Amino acid sequence: FLPQNLADVTLASSSILTLSSGVNGSIVSSVTLDGARTATLFSSPLSSVRLGAFGYGKQLLFTKPSATLPGYAFSFSALKTPVRVAGPNRGLVALPSPLGSDVLLSYTQSSALRLALLETKTGVVTELPVGTIADKCVWSADEKNVFCGVPQNPDSKYAYPDDWYQGVAAFSDRIWKLDVTNRYVEMVLDFTKSTGAGLDAKALAVDPRASTLVFMNKNDGSLWAYKL
């Protein structure tokens, strides 16, 4: 069993990464998939953070997102000094690709949702033509595509992403595919048109062949699968 009261859990290529946070900072640990071995990877004085796998031997920590505070993302490894990879951006959420080649970044600017792609080798940030919260996205296993639930005309009276996390604001999404290799976007599913019901996508997952997309509808908790 994993320890209780963990702040975050994420799956790396060959292990489970866990985050324990408190007033004295955070500790990132690695647990083998069979649960047989646990090792502490590093500690950080940052306490209000979230965790992501960031390629082999690296982890990504980013401050918990809020529209009222500037957020930062840092790359950590056991042997090197942490490196800032993004920020300051209000409402920053960071979603690294499976091998750490890129990081999908979402943030807010003048109450509007923004989405950008960070190339980790060059540090180049490319703004994307759609806006959403990175927690509404998922990378394909080959790092070539990102699938996202993108809100249609989100109400500007809300503070994003805070009000979305708290359930105050809800979205009506379409599913878009972002082709990272060729740099174009394509609408995959207009859920409302297909089903007559609204979609607020979360917990997206895609199979290794990128043939089936699975997601939850935050509006009613239902689970869906869509053949790509």
**Closest of 193, 90, 86, 191 to residue 147, by C-alpha:** 191
Residue 23: the pLDDT is: 79
Express each pLDDT in 121-163 by its tens digit. Answer: 899 999 999 999 999 999 999 999 999 999 999 999 999 999 9
- What gap in Å lies between CA 193 and CA 189, rounded to an integer? 9
Express each pLDDT in 78-128 by its tens digit. Answer: 666 788 999 999 999 999 998 889 999 999 998 899 999 999 889 999 999
Residue 79: the pLDDT is: 61
Residue 218: the pLDDT is: 96
Residue 172: the pLDDT is: 94
pTM over 0.85: yes
- What gap in Å lies between CA 145 and CA 93, rounded to an integer? 18
Q: What percent of the chain has pLDDT over 90?
A: 60
